[in-house]
Amino acid sequence: MSDNHTPEHAPLIKTPKQLIIVVVLAFVVPVLIAVMLAQLATGGKKTPAATAASEEAVARRIKPVGEIVVAAAGGAQELRGGKAVYDAVCTACHAAGVLNAPKTGDKQAWAKLIARGQDRLTADAMKGVRQMPPRGGAPDLSDIEFARAVAYLANQAGANWKEPAASASVAVSASVAAAAPAAAAAPAAATTAAAPVSAGADAAKGKSVYESACAACHVAGVAGAPKAGDKAAWAPRLKTGADALYAAVLKGKGAMPPKGGNTALADADIKAAVDYLTGLAK
């Protein structure tokens, strides 16, 4: 037997460098294993916020360049009842009997008109009667709205007329059809005159008040009222100044009743309408 003997259990770590490596690995390896296990456990799962964001991004990417929007013809404007139309358009003349307009509730003045029948009276009023312009100076009124206002006025004087339903067709005589060009001229003139409206916070309000209380006379120049947009007719009035014009309209002047016949309007609304009218003639 040889005298040389090799130890059976030689140490694995022989140098300080190997010791440091082993210590580092002892800390790093468990951490890496824990991270990998966590990723495996949560892999493939997304939070609700991330899912929503992803779906939104996809939707943006596949969204078409243009979109088609289907809207009801003429908009979704609700038809007004007879009283609402009367308050907005007819009261300016009929409440005070301006230019011999039959006063609201005057049974004697309305008796002969009611005797004509609902369809005939409605058709005559649509095309204009004497100094009353077509549709009372409010050409944007629908047939049904205007017919409801006529029924309301007649009923205040003792008639028992039924306001047309939204789906009903208003009977219009052949004479109304013949008068269509004249009726169409009024909105065209109003549109032309409305072009040079001055800008301002009250411009929209002034236009609204004008259309509801003033257009009946100023579109057609009823009883000498200066027509909207007529610079020659408005020139001497503009020279008097805004305050004088306000006072004249608020108190009434000549055939024009106070506040254009609608005393329920606030002073500020009347002034806005005056500004709108004068703006058309500048």
Tell me the range of 33-47, 71-85, 119-133, 190-204 where mean pLDDT is highest.
Answer: 119-133
Helix 180-193, helix 118-127: angle, nearest 10: 40
Length of the chain: 282
In this prediction, residue 170 has a pLDDT band, given cuts at 50, 70 and 90, of very low
Token duo for residue 74? 């003429």
Fold of the domain spanning 194-282: Cytochrome Bc1 Complex; Chain D, domain 2 (1.10.760)
For the cut 70, the answer to whether the pLDDT of residue 219 exceeds it is: yes
In this prediction, residue 155 has a pLDDT band, given cuts at 50, 70 and 90, of very high
In this prediction, residue 64 has a pLDDT band, given cuts at 50, 70 and 90, of low
Q: What percent of the chain has pLDDT over 70?
A: 67
Count CB-CB contacts under 10 A for residue 54: 11
Q: Are 216 and 92 in contact (CB under 8 A)?
A: yes
In this prediction, residue 187 has a pLDDT band, given cuts at 50, 70 and 90, of very low
In this prediction, residue 152 has a pLDDT band, given cuts at 50, 70 and 90, of very high
In this prediction, residue 32 has a pLDDT band, given cuts at 50, 70 and 90, of confident
Q: Which CATH class is domain 76-193?
A: mainly alpha
In terms of Cα–Cα distance, which of 202, 190, 205, 274 is closest to 240?
Answer: 274
Of all residues in the chain, what percent are helix, strand and coil, respectively (each to 5)? Answer: 60, 0, 40
The domain limits of the chain are: 76-193, 194-282
For 62-79, give one letter per residue: b (16+ CB within 10 A) or e. eeeeeeeeeeeeeeeeee
Cα 2 to chain center, whole Å? 114
For the cut 70, the answer to whether the pLDDT of residue 123 exceeds it is: yes
Q: Which residues pair with 129 in a beta bridge?
A: 132
Instruction: Give CA separation, 265 vs 114, 198, 241, 269, in Å.
Output: 30, 22, 22, 6
What pLDDT is stored for residue 254 in this prediction? 72
